């Protein structure tokens, strides 16, 4: 298996696990009415899609430096109370320069999340057919 497919497969497995937990908790497998079945399927895939897409957007905003000031401030505050702790970064600028090299990939989360949202949309249209 290629290394590039691994994050996609993990995100899809996590999404299907979330959807499966919701399907199980709403007792999908004992339902007989198609309207109720599609409603539960739509809800389950929507929740999985929103959670995975939100995680991707959170990683994207972190990569852009949204939380850098907060992380630097909290770590500096905690390090004030540590005895004999040497500062890793002298200034916030040094922290930002070092942090700029540490970007995390997030595209696979957005793609997998949008996949689950698309499946949810299909289930919604099938649900609306029975209303």
pLDDT of residue 88: 78
Angle between helices 6-25 and 34-63 (to 10 degrees): 140
pLDDT of residue 68: 87
pLDDT of residue 106: 92
pLDDT of residue 85: 73
Q: Is the pTM here over 0.75, yes or no?
A: yes
In a structure prediction context, what are the per-residue pLDDT tens digits for the chain, which is 131 residues long?
Answer: 566 899 999 999 999 999 999 999 999 989 999 999 999 999 999 999 999 999 999 999 999 888 888 988 888 888 888 887 777 777 888 888 888 888 889 999 999 999 999 999 999 999 998 77
DSSP-assigned states of every residue in 49-101: HHHHHHHHHHHHHHHTTTTHHHHHHHHHHHHHTSTTPPPS-SSHHHHHHHHHT
């Amino acid at each position: 298996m290629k290394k590039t497919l691994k994050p996609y497969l993990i995100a899809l497995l996590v999404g299907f696990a979330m959807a499966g937990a919701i399907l199980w908790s709403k007792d999908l497998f004992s339902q007989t009415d198609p309207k109720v079945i599609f409603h539960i399927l739509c809800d389950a895939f929507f929740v999985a899609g929103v959670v995975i897409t939100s995680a991707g957007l959170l990683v994207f905003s972190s990569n852009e430096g949204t939380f850098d000031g907060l992380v630097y401030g909290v770590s500096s505050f905690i390090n004030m109370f540590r005895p004999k702790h040497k500062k890793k970064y002298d200034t916030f600028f040094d922290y930002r320069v070092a942090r700029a090299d540490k970007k995390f990939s997030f595209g696979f989360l957005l793609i997998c999340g949008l996949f689950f949202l698309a499946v949810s949309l299909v289930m919604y249209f099938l649900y609306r057919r029975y209303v």
